[in-house]
Homo-oligomer: A and B are copies of this chain.
Amino acid sequence: MTQRRIGVGMIGYAFMGRAHSHAWRNVARVFDVPLEPDMACICGRNAEAVAAAASKLGWSSHETDWRRVIERDDVDLVDVSTPGDTHAEIAIAALGAGKHVLCEKPLANTLEEAEAMAEAASTSDRVAMVGFNYRRVPAVELARRLIADGRLGVVRHVRAVYLQDWIVDPDFPLVWRLRRELAGSGALGDIGAHIVDLSQHLTGDAIASVSGLTETFVRERPLPGGGGRGAVTVDDAALFLARFAGGAVATFEASRLATGHKNGLRIEVNGSLGSLAFDLERLNELELYESEGFARVLVTEPDHPWLEAWWPPGHVLGWEHTFTNQARDLLCAIGDGVACAPTFADGLQVQRVLDAVLRSSERGAWVDVQTST
Protein backbone atom coordinates (compact mmCIF):
# COMPACT_ATOMS: atom_id res chain seq x y z
CA MET A 1 0.00 0.00 0.00
CA THR A 2 1.25 3.46 -0.75
CA GLN A 3 0.69 5.72 2.13
CA ARG A 4 0.54 9.43 2.52
CA ARG A 5 3.31 10.75 4.70
CA ILE A 6 3.43 13.58 7.18
CA GLY A 7 6.59 15.40 8.20
CA VAL A 8 7.07 15.93 11.90
CA GLY A 9 9.28 18.56 13.47
CA MET A 10 9.81 18.31 17.20
CA ILE A 11 11.00 21.14 19.45
CA GLY A 12 12.69 19.81 22.59
CA TYR A 13 14.70 16.66 23.14
CA ALA A 14 14.71 16.02 26.87
CA PHE A 15 12.43 13.60 28.74
CA MET A 16 9.31 14.43 26.75
CA GLY A 17 11.29 14.56 23.54
CA ARG A 18 12.49 11.02 24.08
CA ALA A 19 8.98 9.80 24.80
CA HIS A 20 7.52 11.55 21.76
CA SER A 21 10.30 10.25 19.52
CA HIS A 22 9.46 6.75 20.61
CA ALA A 23 5.87 7.33 19.59
CA TRP A 24 6.69 8.77 16.18
CA ARG A 25 9.11 5.93 15.52
CA ASN A 26 6.61 3.21 16.32
CA VAL A 27 3.12 4.45 15.65
CA ALA A 28 2.89 3.32 12.04
CA ARG A 29 4.59 0.03 12.84
CA VAL A 30 1.86 -0.80 15.34
CA PHE A 31 -1.29 0.91 14.09
CA ASP A 32 -2.89 1.29 10.70
CA VAL A 33 -2.76 5.05 10.38
CA PRO A 34 -3.86 7.25 7.49
CA LEU A 35 -0.56 9.12 7.51
CA GLU A 36 2.90 7.76 8.06
CA PRO A 37 5.13 10.13 10.03
CA ASP A 38 8.51 11.17 8.71
CA MET A 39 10.72 12.19 11.60
CA ALA A 40 11.96 15.18 9.66
CA CYS A 41 13.77 17.29 12.22
CA ILE A 42 14.37 17.79 15.91
CA CYS A 43 15.22 21.14 17.40
CA GLY A 44 17.21 22.34 20.41
CA ARG A 45 19.40 25.30 21.24
CA ASN A 46 22.60 23.35 21.86
CA ALA A 47 23.83 22.27 18.43
CA GLU A 48 26.02 19.46 19.60
CA ALA A 49 23.47 18.02 21.95
CA VAL A 50 20.62 18.19 19.49
CA ALA A 51 22.73 16.55 16.82
CA ALA A 52 23.44 13.70 19.18
CA ALA A 53 19.76 13.49 20.06
CA ALA A 54 18.77 13.39 16.41
CA SER A 55 21.13 10.50 15.83
CA LYS A 56 20.15 8.70 18.97
CA LEU A 57 16.40 9.12 18.65
CA GLY A 58 16.10 8.60 14.90
CA TRP A 59 15.44 12.06 13.42
CA SER A 60 16.61 12.84 9.89
CA SER A 61 17.91 16.31 10.66
CA HIS A 62 18.18 18.89 13.39
CA GLU A 63 17.77 22.60 13.93
CA THR A 64 18.80 25.01 16.66
CA ASP A 65 16.09 27.62 16.09
CA TRP A 66 12.46 26.61 16.37
CA ARG A 67 11.53 29.30 13.84
CA ARG A 68 13.45 27.34 11.22
CA VAL A 69 11.39 24.27 11.98
CA ILE A 70 8.09 25.94 11.27
CA GLU A 71 9.43 27.36 8.03
CA ARG A 72 10.43 24.00 6.63
CA ASP A 73 8.27 22.58 3.88
CA ASP A 74 8.98 19.04 5.00
CA VAL A 75 7.37 19.74 8.36
CA ASP A 76 3.59 19.45 8.49
CA LEU A 77 3.20 18.87 12.19
CA VAL A 78 5.05 20.67 14.96
CA ASP A 79 5.49 18.78 18.20
CA VAL A 80 6.11 21.21 21.07
CA SER A 81 7.92 19.31 23.84
CA THR A 82 9.66 22.26 25.50
CA PRO A 83 9.09 23.75 28.97
CA GLY A 84 5.81 25.60 29.44
CA ASP A 85 7.11 29.15 29.18
CA THR A 86 7.77 28.72 25.45
CA HIS A 87 4.59 26.88 24.44
CA ALA A 88 2.50 29.88 23.47
CA GLU A 89 4.96 31.56 21.17
CA ILE A 90 5.91 28.40 19.32
CA ALA A 91 2.45 26.91 19.02
CA ILE A 92 0.82 30.12 17.84
CA ALA A 93 3.54 30.68 15.27
CA ALA A 94 3.28 27.12 14.06
CA LEU A 95 -0.46 27.36 13.61
CA GLY A 96 0.07 30.68 11.85
CA ALA A 97 2.46 28.95 9.48
CA GLY A 98 -0.20 26.40 8.65
CA LYS A 99 1.24 23.56 10.68
CA HIS A 100 -0.65 21.08 12.79
CA VAL A 101 0.43 21.24 16.42
CA LEU A 102 0.87 18.82 19.29
CA CYS A 103 1.71 20.75 22.46
CA GLU A 104 2.81 19.19 25.73
CA LYS A 105 0.83 19.97 28.86
CA PRO A 106 0.27 22.21 30.66
CA LEU A 107 -0.85 24.28 27.71
CA ALA A 108 1.00 27.34 29.03
CA ASN A 109 2.41 28.89 32.16
CA THR A 110 -0.16 31.69 32.34
CA LEU A 111 -3.83 31.95 31.70
CA GLU A 112 -3.27 34.75 29.21
CA GLU A 113 -0.97 32.64 27.11
CA ALA A 114 -3.34 29.72 27.22
CA GLU A 115 -6.20 31.93 26.09
CA ALA A 116 -4.16 33.21 23.17
CA MET A 117 -3.31 29.66 22.18
CA ALA A 118 -6.91 28.51 22.32
CA GLU A 119 -7.90 31.54 20.28
CA ALA A 120 -5.23 30.76 17.69
CA ALA A 121 -6.38 27.17 17.48
CA SER A 122 -10.02 28.11 17.12
CA THR A 123 -9.35 30.37 14.16
CA SER A 124 -7.05 27.88 12.43
CA ASP A 125 -8.11 24.98 10.24
CA ARG A 126 -5.17 22.97 11.46
CA VAL A 127 -5.38 20.32 14.15
CA ALA A 128 -4.11 21.42 17.57
CA MET A 129 -3.89 18.87 20.38
CA VAL A 130 -2.60 19.26 23.91
CA GLY A 131 -0.69 16.28 25.24
CA PHE A 132 -2.62 14.98 28.18
CA ASN A 133 -1.27 11.56 27.39
CA TYR A 134 -2.99 9.76 30.27
CA ARG A 135 -6.24 10.01 28.36
CA ARG A 136 -4.65 7.35 26.16
CA VAL A 137 -4.16 4.78 28.88
CA PRO A 138 -6.50 1.98 27.77
CA ALA A 139 -7.87 1.54 31.30
CA VAL A 140 -8.67 5.26 31.48
CA GLU A 141 -10.49 5.26 28.18
CA LEU A 142 -12.38 2.13 29.20
CA ALA A 143 -13.37 3.93 32.40
CA ARG A 144 -14.54 6.95 30.45
CA ARG A 145 -16.71 4.79 28.22
CA LEU A 146 -18.24 2.96 31.16
CA ILE A 147 -19.18 6.25 32.78
CA ALA A 148 -20.45 7.71 29.51
CA ASP A 149 -22.57 4.60 29.04
CA GLY A 150 -24.20 5.17 32.41
CA ARG A 151 -22.75 2.09 34.08
CA LEU A 152 -21.91 4.10 37.19
CA GLY A 153 -25.12 6.14 37.25
CA VAL A 154 -24.90 9.72 38.47
CA VAL A 155 -21.38 10.62 39.53
CA ARG A 156 -21.20 11.84 43.14
CA HIS A 157 -17.59 11.60 44.21
CA VAL A 158 -14.22 12.03 42.59
CA ARG A 159 -10.99 11.69 44.54
CA ALA A 160 -7.77 12.16 42.70
CA VAL A 161 -4.18 12.25 43.86
CA TYR A 162 -0.91 12.51 42.01
CA LEU A 163 1.84 11.65 44.45
CA GLN A 164 5.56 11.64 43.82
CA ASP A 165 8.56 11.91 46.10
CA TRP A 166 11.48 12.93 43.91
CA ILE A 167 12.26 16.11 45.87
CA VAL A 168 11.71 14.75 49.36
CA ASP A 169 15.44 15.03 50.02
CA PRO A 170 15.99 18.63 51.22
CA ASP A 171 19.34 18.60 49.44
CA PHE A 172 17.79 17.93 46.07
CA PRO A 173 18.91 20.99 44.06
CA LEU A 174 16.92 24.01 42.99
CA VAL A 175 16.24 22.87 39.41
CA TRP A 176 14.23 24.99 36.97
CA ARG A 177 11.03 23.14 37.84
CA LEU A 178 11.25 24.66 41.32
CA ARG A 179 11.40 28.26 40.10
CA ARG A 180 8.20 30.09 39.35
CA GLU A 181 9.55 32.25 36.55
CA LEU A 182 10.33 29.18 34.48
CA ALA A 183 7.86 26.56 35.60
CA GLY A 184 4.81 28.69 36.39
CA SER A 185 3.89 26.53 39.35
CA GLY A 186 5.15 23.40 41.06
CA ALA A 187 3.27 20.20 41.68
CA LEU A 188 0.04 21.95 40.79
CA GLY A 189 0.80 22.63 37.13
CA ASP A 190 3.13 19.72 36.52
CA ILE A 191 1.13 16.82 37.88
CA GLY A 192 -2.03 18.44 39.25
CA ALA A 193 -2.89 19.39 35.67
CA HIS A 194 -3.11 15.70 34.79
CA ILE A 195 -5.64 14.84 37.46
CA VAL A 196 -7.72 17.92 36.70
CA ASP A 197 -7.87 16.90 33.05
CA LEU A 198 -8.56 13.25 33.82
CA SER A 199 -11.31 14.00 36.33
CA GLN A 200 -13.13 16.14 33.79
CA HIS A 201 -12.45 13.78 30.92
CA LEU A 202 -13.65 10.73 32.81
CA THR A 203 -16.82 12.30 34.12
CA GLY A 204 -17.61 14.39 31.05
CA ASP A 205 -18.20 17.22 33.50
CA ALA A 206 -16.42 20.45 34.39
CA ILE A 207 -15.06 21.70 37.68
CA ALA A 208 -17.08 24.76 38.62
CA SER A 209 -15.52 25.96 41.88
CA VAL A 210 -12.60 25.14 44.11
CA SER A 211 -11.10 25.72 47.53
CA GLY A 212 -7.40 25.06 47.67
CA LEU A 213 -4.17 25.34 49.52
CA THR A 214 -0.58 25.18 48.37
CA GLU A 215 2.42 24.46 50.53
CA THR A 216 6.17 24.59 50.13
CA PHE A 217 7.70 22.36 52.80
CA VAL A 218 11.33 22.83 51.79
CA ARG A 219 11.76 26.54 51.24
CA GLU A 220 15.43 26.66 50.33
CA ARG A 221 17.48 24.26 48.32
CA PRO A 222 21.09 24.07 47.08
CA LEU A 223 21.74 26.00 43.89
CA PRO A 224 22.48 23.53 41.06
CA GLY A 225 25.87 25.06 40.28
CA GLY A 226 26.95 25.18 43.91
CA GLY A 227 27.40 28.39 45.88
CA GLY A 228 24.76 28.29 48.56
CA ARG A 229 21.03 27.86 48.63
CA GLY A 230 18.21 29.63 46.87
CA ALA A 231 14.51 30.06 47.50
CA VAL A 232 12.01 27.57 46.15
CA THR A 233 9.31 29.70 44.54
CA VAL A 234 6.76 27.10 43.57
CA ASP A 235 4.50 24.77 45.54
CA ASP A 236 5.71 21.38 46.75
CA ALA A 237 2.11 20.31 47.13
CA ALA A 238 -1.33 21.56 46.19
CA LEU A 239 -4.59 20.28 47.65
CA PHE A 240 -8.08 21.36 46.76
CA LEU A 241 -11.74 20.58 47.08
CA ALA A 242 -13.93 20.97 44.02
CA ARG A 243 -17.55 21.07 43.00
CA PHE A 244 -18.40 19.92 39.50
CA ALA A 245 -21.07 21.65 37.45
CA GLY A 246 -23.10 18.45 37.50
CA GLY A 247 -23.15 18.20 41.29
CA ALA A 248 -20.28 15.87 42.10
CA VAL A 249 -17.83 16.81 44.85
CA ALA A 250 -14.14 16.03 44.82
CA THR A 251 -10.79 16.10 46.57
CA PHE A 252 -7.56 16.66 44.67
CA GLU A 253 -3.98 16.43 45.84
CA ALA A 254 -0.69 16.80 44.00
CA SER A 255 2.58 16.43 45.85
CA ARG A 256 6.24 15.86 45.10
CA LEU A 257 7.04 15.04 48.72
CA ALA A 258 4.76 12.07 49.28
CA THR A 259 7.43 9.65 50.40
CA GLY A 260 7.19 6.21 48.83
CA HIS A 261 5.09 7.27 45.85
CA LYS A 262 6.90 7.40 42.53
CA ASN A 263 4.23 8.08 39.96
CA GLY A 264 1.17 7.71 42.11
CA LEU A 265 -1.64 9.05 40.02
CA ARG A 266 -4.80 7.52 41.42
CA ILE A 267 -8.34 8.53 40.60
CA GLU A 268 -11.54 7.13 42.04
CA VAL A 269 -15.09 7.82 40.92
CA ASN A 270 -18.22 6.84 42.83
CA GLY A 271 -21.57 6.95 41.10
CA SER A 272 -25.08 6.12 42.18
CA LEU A 273 -24.81 2.66 40.58
CA GLY A 274 -21.16 1.78 40.67
CA SER A 275 -17.61 2.90 41.20
CA LEU A 276 -14.23 2.63 39.58
CA ALA A 277 -10.62 3.40 40.38
CA PHE A 278 -7.43 3.71 38.37
CA ASP A 279 -3.81 3.75 39.52
CA LEU A 280 -1.08 4.77 37.10
CA GLU A 281 1.51 2.53 38.72
CA ARG A 282 -0.73 -0.37 37.67
CA LEU A 283 -1.80 1.14 34.40
CA ASN A 284 -3.06 -2.07 32.83
CA GLU A 285 -5.74 -2.47 35.49
CA LEU A 286 -9.11 -0.90 36.19
CA GLU A 287 -10.92 -1.49 39.45
CA LEU A 288 -14.63 -1.70 38.80
CA TYR A 289 -17.46 -2.11 41.27
CA GLU A 290 -20.90 -2.93 40.03
CA SER A 291 -22.39 -5.43 42.43
CA GLU A 292 -20.43 -7.88 44.55
CA GLY A 293 -16.99 -6.38 44.93
CA PHE A 294 -14.30 -4.32 43.27
CA ALA A 295 -13.10 -6.31 40.27
CA ARG A 296 -9.56 -5.97 39.00
CA VAL A 297 -10.11 -5.76 35.26
CA LEU A 298 -6.94 -6.45 33.29
CA VAL A 299 -7.36 -4.03 30.41
CA THR A 300 -5.49 -6.01 27.77
CA GLU A 301 -8.27 -7.59 25.74
CA PRO A 302 -8.57 -7.00 22.00
CA ASP A 303 -11.85 -5.17 22.45
CA HIS A 304 -10.33 -2.74 24.92
CA PRO A 305 -9.24 0.68 23.61
CA TRP A 306 -6.14 0.59 21.34
CA LEU A 307 -5.39 -2.97 22.41
CA GLU A 308 -6.20 -4.76 19.19
CA ALA A 309 -3.06 -3.26 17.66
CA TRP A 310 -0.82 -4.34 20.52
CA TRP A 311 -0.33 -7.78 22.08
CA PRO A 312 -2.50 -10.70 23.16
CA PRO A 313 -4.47 -10.61 26.45
CA GLY A 314 -2.33 -10.34 29.54
CA HIS A 315 0.70 -8.93 27.74
CA VAL A 316 0.85 -5.61 29.50
CA LEU A 317 1.62 -2.18 28.14
CA GLY A 318 3.89 0.43 29.69
CA TRP A 319 3.86 4.15 30.23
CA GLU A 320 5.29 5.10 26.84
CA HIS A 321 2.43 3.42 24.99
CA THR A 322 0.20 6.32 25.95
CA PHE A 323 2.24 8.52 23.61
CA THR A 324 2.04 6.03 20.77
CA ASN A 325 -1.71 5.75 21.22
CA GLN A 326 -1.90 9.55 21.30
CA ALA A 327 0.14 9.84 18.12
CA ARG A 328 -2.19 7.37 16.44
CA ASP A 329 -5.25 9.42 17.37
CA LEU A 330 -3.60 12.64 16.27
CA LEU A 331 -2.73 11.12 12.89
CA CYS A 332 -6.33 9.96 12.52
CA ALA A 333 -7.52 13.47 13.35
CA ILE A 334 -5.25 15.00 10.74
CA GLY A 335 -5.60 12.33 8.10
CA ASP A 336 -9.19 11.22 8.49
CA GLY A 337 -10.78 14.30 9.97
CA VAL A 338 -11.73 12.51 13.18
CA ALA A 339 -12.46 15.01 15.95
CA CYS A 340 -9.33 15.75 17.94
CA ALA A 341 -9.20 15.76 21.71
CA PRO A 342 -7.98 17.19 23.98
CA THR A 343 -8.09 20.46 22.12
CA PHE A 344 -6.37 23.67 23.13
CA ALA A 345 -9.76 24.73 24.50
CA ASP A 346 -9.64 21.70 26.79
CA GLY A 347 -6.14 22.67 27.81
CA LEU A 348 -7.31 26.20 28.54
CA GLN A 349 -10.12 24.93 30.71
CA VAL A 350 -7.59 22.97 32.80
CA GLN A 351 -5.51 26.15 33.15
CA ARG A 352 -8.55 27.99 34.41
CA VAL A 353 -9.05 25.39 37.11
CA LEU A 354 -5.41 25.62 38.15
CA ASP A 355 -5.67 29.39 38.17
CA ALA A 356 -8.73 29.19 40.37
CA VAL A 357 -6.87 26.92 42.77
CA LEU A 358 -4.07 29.44 43.10
CA ARG A 359 -6.48 32.34 43.62
CA SER A 360 -8.43 30.32 46.16
CA SER A 361 -5.24 29.46 48.03
CA GLU A 362 -4.32 33.11 48.27
CA ARG A 363 -7.75 34.23 49.38
CA GLY A 364 -8.51 31.36 51.76
CA ALA A 365 -11.94 30.97 50.21
CA TRP A 366 -13.84 29.20 47.47
CA VAL A 367 -13.56 30.72 44.01
CA ASP A 368 -15.41 29.93 40.82
CA VAL A 369 -13.62 28.64 37.79
CA GLN A 370 -13.78 31.22 35.03
CA THR A 371 -15.91 30.12 32.12
CA SER A 372 -15.56 30.89 28.46
CA THR A 373 -17.13 34.07 27.21
Is B294 a contact of A271 with CB atoms below 8 Å? no
> How many copies of this chain sit in the oligomeric assembly?
4
Instruction: Of the listed stretches A116-124, A221-229, A258-266, name the one at the interface; the rest are far from the partner chain.
Output: A258-266
Smallest Cβ-Cβ distance to A321: which chain B residue? B318
Is B281 a contact of A298 with CB atoms below 8 Å? yes
Given contacts A319-B316, A320-B311, are A159 and B157 in contact (CB under 8 A)? no
Distance (Å) between the CB of A215 and the closest chain B CB?
A: 5
Given contacts A241-B213, A311-B19, are A259 and B251 in contact (CB under 8 A)? no
Is A157 a contact of B237 with CB atoms below 8 Å? yes
Q: Which residues of B sit under 8 angstroms from A281, Cβ to Cβ?
A: 284, 298, 314, 316
Given contacts A297-B293, A314-B263, A320-B311, are A258 and B275 in contact (CB under 8 A)? yes
Q: Which residues of B sit under 8 angstroms from A315, Cβ to Cβ?
A: 263, 318-320
**Cβ of A305 < 8 Å from any Cβ of B?**
no
Instruction: Of the listed stretches A50-58, A176-184, A328-336, name the one at the interface; the rest are far from the partner chain.
Output: A50-58
Is B298 a contact of A55 with CB atoms below 8 Å? no
Q: Which residues of B sit under 8 angstroms from A263, Cβ to Cβ?
A: 300, 312-316
Distance (Å) between the CB of A21 and the closest chain B CB?
A: 7
Distance (Å) between the CB of A189 and the closest chain B CB?
A: 18
**Cβ of A111 < 8 Å from any Cβ of B?**
no
- Mask of A49-91 contacts with B, CB within 8 angstroms, 1/0: 0000001111000000000000000000000000000000000
Smallest Cβ-Cβ distance to A57: which chain B residue? B29
- Mask of A230-244 contacts with B, CB within 8 angstroms, 1/0: 000000010111010
Distance (Å) between the CB of A273 and the closest chain B CB?
A: 7
Q: How far is the CA of A243 from the CA of B212 in the complex (A)?
A: 11
Q: Which residues of B sit under 8 angstroms from A153, Cβ to Cβ?
A: 259
Q: Which residues of B sit under 8 angstroms from A319, Cβ to Cβ?
A: 311, 315-317
Q: How far is the CA of A280 from the CA of B272 in the complex (A)?
A: 23
Distance (Å) between the CB of A2 and the closest chain B CB?
A: 10
Chain A's interface size range is 35 or more
Distance (Å) between the CB of A83 and the closest chain B CB?
A: 16
- Mask of A153-169 contacts with B, CB within 8 angstroms, 1/0: 10011010101111010
Smallest Cβ-Cβ distance to A159: which chain B residue? B253
**Cβ of A249 < 8 Å from any Cβ of B?**
yes
**Cβ of A365 < 8 Å from any Cβ of B?**
yes
Q: Which residues of B sit under 8 angstroms from A280, Cβ to Cβ?
A: 314, 316
Distance (Å) between the CB of A190 and the closest chain B CB?
A: 12
Q: Which residues of B sit under 8 angstroms from A297, Cβ to Cβ?
A: 292-293
Is A270 a contact of B259 with CB atoms below 8 Å? yes
Q: Which residues of B sit under 8 angstroms from A282, Cβ to Cβ?
A: 282
- Which residue of B247, B260, B300 contacts A294 across the interface (Cβ within 8 Å)? B260
- Which residue of B213, B264, B283 contacts A249 across the interface (Cβ within 8 Å)? B213
Distance (Å) between the CB of A219 and the closest chain B CB?
A: 11
Distance (Å) between the CB of A340 and the closest chain B CB?
A: 25
* Known contacts A211-B211, A262-B313, then 16 further A-B pairs from the complex at CB < 8 Å, ordered by chain A residue: A15-B311, A25-B25, A152-B259, A156-B258, A157-B237, A159-B251, A211-B366, A215-B249, A257-B270, A260-B274, A261-B275, A263-B314, A286-B293, A288-B293, A315-B320, A316-B319
8 interchain pairs, CB-CB under 8 A:
A159-B253, A170-B272, A251-B251, A255-B270, A259-B270, A281-B284, A293-B295, A293-B297
The 10 closest A-B pairs by CB, nearest first: A263-B314, A262-B314, A260-B289, A318-B318, A293-B297, A293-B295, A295-B295, A365-B365, A315-B319, A260-B275
